[in-house]
Every structure is written in structure tokens, then in C-alpha cells.
Amino acid sequence: MTPGEQMTLTAVAQAFCSARGLSFSRAAGHGAFKATFRVLHSDGRILALKVYLPGAVTQRAVREIEALTELSKTAHPSLPSFLALVGHDHGGTRYVISAEEFLGGGSLGERLARDGLCDRQEVVDLAVQVASALAEVAGAGLVHRDIKPDNLVFRDDGTIVLVDFGLVRNLALHSLTQTWLAQGPGTPLYAAAEQLNNDKHLIDWRTDQFSLGVSLAFAAYGHHPYEHPGDNADVVVGRVAAREQPAPDFLGWTASVGLAPLVQMVQPWTASRYRRPADLIAAWAAV
Amino acid sequence: MPAYHQMGHNSTNLLFEPDLASFSGAILSPVNDDQAQVAAILQRVRANRADLEMVFDPQLYFPQSNRGQIRTWPHFPDDVDTADLSSPAWWTSVVAALAKVVGSVSPDAVCSPAVVPRVFSNNDFYMRMVEVGDELVDAVSAIPVLQTVIVGFDDLTTPARPYEIASIVSKSKSDRVFLVVSADVDPRRELSDVESLKGVMRLIHLLESGGQRVLVGFCSSDMALWKAAGATSCATGKFFNLRRFTRSRFEEPSGGGGQLPYWFEEGVFAYLRESDVVRVQRAGAFSGSTTRNPFTGPILTMISEPKPWVGQGWRHYMWWFADFEARATKDIVRSQLRSADNVWRDFEVNDVLMEERLNDGAWVRQWRRAVAEYQVP
């Protein structure tokens, strides 16, 4: 997104707030097709207002909104609350704006950069919360496909919330990813082999399980589970894509700290990971 | 877990024989029996063997086949010659018809319908079969559904293939799998390609490790390998001392006559013809299982008289199958195969030669390798 587009979307958000009696606070981030703003509702709630670039409401965006709408019904503490979707005319152009709960605690990625690695109990708590959220996501027939520390955001009360469903896949609908693509969507460093190889027939909730496992490994161990000494990120991604086994150092570390579920979560084939969300939750609860 | 009886032609009476009582269930065959006959079997089982789990296998494996009673069943579509068997709508109609059959026949469990594909390497086949199985789970809520998984023996030679198939099959809503191994192996010949054997064993191990209980259907003595890999149960029928799961099984006439009698001997892990039974007995190579087998004595008497013993041979084999199936851990299978390998080595040294030229125990060594290596990455 260009600076000019950011300015335009900021003006749209401010005008929208003015028209709806909301109090515009500040910009809170932007992606390729949308910008997020912190706004204050008259009832005291803090909202995340997402303004999409004109023409950016693609099929993927529609599916994201549909997914959020569906998941909001669960009222799960580790899933975002989706509040509204509206159209707004500004300067002769129609903009799509969504309103969600604003999460003010920063992301897990920011937390790690600021405070360093999580201790064992923190990781277990995070795993239990997000695994429970994944059960809801899987139950709705959805796969997030982009779980990473930057998409795990804290509420002010410390609850972790899985956000950014921009790459969500609804398994009941036809895939939007072309089969001929060498790689499916996702952030490569956190992606499972089936994403990296665009093995669409193998994508399911266990794909998210892998990414969560990698995220938790980064949070507690500081390295990717497939990282050998001296590897850079490209080499690590190549190891995952080639379906190698997790690195011996990682296996030794998990054994020494008693975090065995991480090993099963990051297995190269989905068949070797936890089969049901309940199995994953039970494994973490038993740690 | 105890074995299942794979029902075949005129095999109902075997369900009620006291010496074959250790089977824990049976797989009903709509190829061999029509709906009224199956209903009668179920009624008789519930009156006399209520402990048996009676599993209905719709047996659509070769839908173009015109074998036995299969076309008389309501779940067998009448448009198989012209239908697009890859069509979800066609399968939905099959599932709906099968659900009605289940409601009418009232088995204790049902296998999901599946066809044998032209090639097994296409993942869309497994995806579709799982979707069909899930539809049946939704349609038949009162009894368990076993997800049918047909694998090509030759398709499992590469190490990654069982992982890929297991990754698809483990998406299933069902926690039980009915595994069928389709192999182009001549009757009476053992499955012996080590890489394929390891592939099947890996697949079983992966499914069981993921919480799906595997019942392997249409087994012969290869049951030992599937049990070593962790299969919950295996099924066999009286004819599986000779045949495998092949297209020909569903195309041959269904009569049971014309067979030579065979004896399964655990001591050499081989099927023996009559003269070889005597040969192996003289060599002192009968196993403890054979000694305990209640059909051993009667058959040896019949051989000496001589009298035909085909039917007793079936019973002898099935008693062994249920007995070994119940005690076959990986360690026991490894030990038993090692012992059989040693016996075959001694036979070779001492010129104890079987009547059948190919009955030389060569597969035992391959099986030992499969057991030793299937879990090695």
C-alpha cells in the first residue's frame, strides 16, 4: 500500500467515524489491501476499524469476513469478535469497512522482541488457549493458514487471540489457490509442507497445528524446529518442504523441558500430527 | 483384538462351530447372499452368537461385475455401466440407498462403499472415498461406519506413499478403517515385495497411531504382518487359504468345489498340500499351534485313510487364523518368522522339498525384512 493510499484510507476512516458518532483515535497498522484504525465507540468499547482499498474486496476478503462472522458466533475468548460490515461513500467512491474488537496488548511477535523467550508455563498457557480456538476454527470447517507470532495478539487482560483470517480456507468451498502454483498461500517460515508444496488435498486443521507448533517453538526455544546449526530461513523452509524430520537439537530440547506435544505438532505429514483438536488440547493439558 | 470372519460362499455354518468360536465378528457379503439370506443369517446370529459384531460390507468394489447376488441389492446402482463414478451426486445416491439397506438389514456396523480404481496413484480417489464415507457417517448415525480404504499393493512401494494416503484417510469422520489390499498376485502365492509390504505396514501403523482402529479385510497368512504393524483386527474366510482380493475373485463362478485341500502350518508359515503335510510332520516341524488345533487330528486321520478333507482344511486354517490373530504382537511375529526361516533353511540343507516347486519359504525372509524395517525412515 502506498503512502497516498494510506492517507486516503485514513481520511475515509475519519469521515466514517464522524458520520457514525465514533471517536477516531489513531492508525493501528496496514496490509496490502486494507488499513486498520483504533476508534472509540460511544459505549466505551475500543474498536478496530478496517478500511479496504476500493476493488480490494476480493473473494478472499469476502471469505475472511464470512469466516469472522461465523467464528464470532462461538464467542470464544481466543477468537476475535466481528461486529459489523458496512459500505461507506467517500469522495464519490464506495469503500468497504469492517469493525472488530480492538486488541490492545500487542502481538506475540512484539512480546518476544521486547521481553525475550517465554518460559515453559507461558508456552503451555498459550498452547492451551490457541489449541482451543483452533478447535472452533476446525469445527467451522476453516483453516487459518497463516498462524504466526504476529497473528497471535493479546487482549489487555493477557488473553491470546488468533487474528488475521485473510488467508482463511473454507474446506467446504472450492479452493481459490490454483493447483499449478508451486506454493500455496501462507508465511513460508511458519508454513507446513503441504502449504509449501501446494498439496491442497492435504490441507486441513492440522496445517494450522503445524504453524502453531512452529510459533510456540519460536516463543520458547527461539528457533524453528527444523533449524540445524548454521541454517538460514531459506534452508529451513527447504527442509520443511522436503519433509525432513525436525532437527535433533529441537528434539533434544523438547525432551529436556518436557514439551513433547511440540514434536508431534510439527511432524512433516499431517497423518503423524494430532488427528483431532481434542487430542491436541488433551496433550497440552497433560503437560 | 479377535479376528473377523469374512463371509463367503456357504460359510454361514462356520459361524456357529464351537471350535471356531473365537472369532469376534463377521463381515457379511452381499455378493454371496441376497437381502433375505443376510437377514436370516443375522437373525440366527442374534439368537445363538449375540456377541458377534456383524459388519455389512456393500462390496461395490467392481461395480461392473455381475457376480453372485450383488445386483439384487437395492444399494447396487442400476446405472453402473453408464454412470460417472467420479460424480459426487452419483455417490450421494449410493449412500442414500445404502443407508436404507442398513435400516432394513440392521447390521451392527457398516463399511463405506468404495470402488477399486483403475490406478491407485491418484489422490482424488482417496479424497472422494473419504467424502463418501463421511456422507455415510452422517446418514447412518445409529451404528458405526468403517471407512473403507482400498490400497494398491504396488502403489505402496515408495516410502512417502503410506504417509500421503494416511494423511487423507485420517481426515475421515470415522475412527474405524476397513483396509483392503488389492494385489495382482496369483492364487496361492504370498505377497512378497518387501517395499510394498513395508508400505502397507506403515499405513496401518500410521492410522492406528492416529486413533483409527484398522480392520484388515480379505487376509490370508499375511495377517501376521498387519498385526505386527498394529492392526486392531484382521478378517479372513475359508477361501483365503487360496485366494487374494483380486478382480477375478469377483468374476469367477461362486461354486466352492474343485479345490485341493490345504493345511496352514505355522511352523513354516506356509500352506501345505497333502503330501507336504506328511513331509513336514516327519521332519518334526509342526508348531505348537498345530498341536493345539482341534482339526489337526481329524485331518491326519483322513489323510491316512485316505478321505477328502477340503472342508476340514478350511476349518484348520480358520482356527489357526483366529488363534494367531489374537496373540500376534510384533515380537511374536518376529520370533515366529525367524523360527520358520530357520526351518526352511534346515529343509534346504536336508533336501526336504515340497511338492509345489514355489513352496520354498522364500517369502518368509522377505516378511522378516518387512517386520524389521517398516518403521525405519
Q: What's the average model confidence in pLDDT over A9-16?
A: 95
Whose grid coordinates read 471517536?
A23
Which residues on A lie below 8 Å from B163 (Cβ)?
268-269, 271-272
**Residue A194 CB contacts under 8 Å (≥ 6 apart), including other chains:** A184, A200, A202, A203, A207, A270, B167
User: For residue B172, with 0-12 CB atoms within 10 Å meaning exposed, 13-18 middle and 19 or more buried, which class applies?
Assistant: buried
Nearest residue in chain B measured CA to CA from A141: B171
Q: Which of A6, A59, A62 is nearest to A32 (CA)?
A: A6
Indicate the pairing of strand B4-6 with strand B25-28.
parallel
Give Cα A161 to chain centroid, integer Å: 9
Nearest residue in chain A measured CA to CA from B203: A271
Q: Which of the 8 DSSP states describes residue B58?
A: -
Q: Counting one residue from A and one from B, how many pairs have CB atoms under 8 Å apart? A: 37
Strand partners, B178: B148, B215
CA angle B212, B216, B218 (to 5 degrees): 160
Which residues on B lie below 8 Å from A267 (Cβ)?
none
Question: Cβ–Cβ of A269/B211 closer than 8 Å?
Answer: no
Give Cα A199 to chain centroid, integer Å: 20
Residue pair A96/A87 in contact by the 8 Å Cβ criterion: yes
pLDDT in tens, B14-26: 999 999 999 999 9
pTM of this structure: 0.91
Out of A54-63, B53-62, B111-120, least confident range: A54-63
pLDDT of residue A223: 97
Q: B155 to chain A nearest CA, in Å?
A: 18
pLDDT in tens, A180-203: 666 667 789 999 999 999 998 999
Q: Is A157 a catalytic residue?
A: no
Cα B126 from Cα B114, distance rounded (Å): 10
ipTM: 0.87
**3-state SS track over B194-243:** HHHHHHHHHHHHHHHHCCCEEEECCCCCCHHHHHHCCCCEEEECHHHHCC
Which residues on A lie below 8 Å from B164 (Cβ)?
202, 269
pLDDT in tens, A138-156: 999 999 999 999 999 999 8
Q: What's the average model confidence in pLDDT over B309-327?
A: 95
Query: Helix, strand, coil proportions of chain A in percent (round to 5)?
Result: 45, 20, 40
DSSP three-state, residue A255: helix
What long-range pairs does A35-40 form, CB within 8 A, spacing at least 24?
Answer: A35/A1, A35/A6, A35/A9, A35/A10, A37/A10, A37/A13, A38/A102, A39/A13, A39/A102
Nearest to A204 among B171, B210, B377 (CB): B171
pLDDT of residue A172: 74
From chain A, which residues contact B within 8 Å (Cβ)? 194, 201-202, 204, 243, 245, 268-272, 275-276, 279
Residue B232 sits at φ, ψ, to 5 deg, of: -65, -45
DSSP three-state, residue B160: helix
Query: Dihedral through CA B341, CA B344, CA B350, CA B351, nearest 10?
Result: -150
Report the share of chain A in percent with pLDDT over 90.
Answer: 73
Q: Which of the 8 DSSP states describes residue A283?
A: H
Whose grid coordinates read 475515509?
A12
Which residues on A lie below 8 Å from B168 (Cβ)?
201-202
Cα B279 from Cα B277, distance rounded (Å): 5
Q: What's the average model confidence in pLDDT over B251-273?
A: 76
pLDDT of residue B213: 98
Interface test with A, best of B171, B176, B202, B209 (most A CBs within 10 A): B171
pLDDT in tens, B145-161: 999 999 999 999 999 99
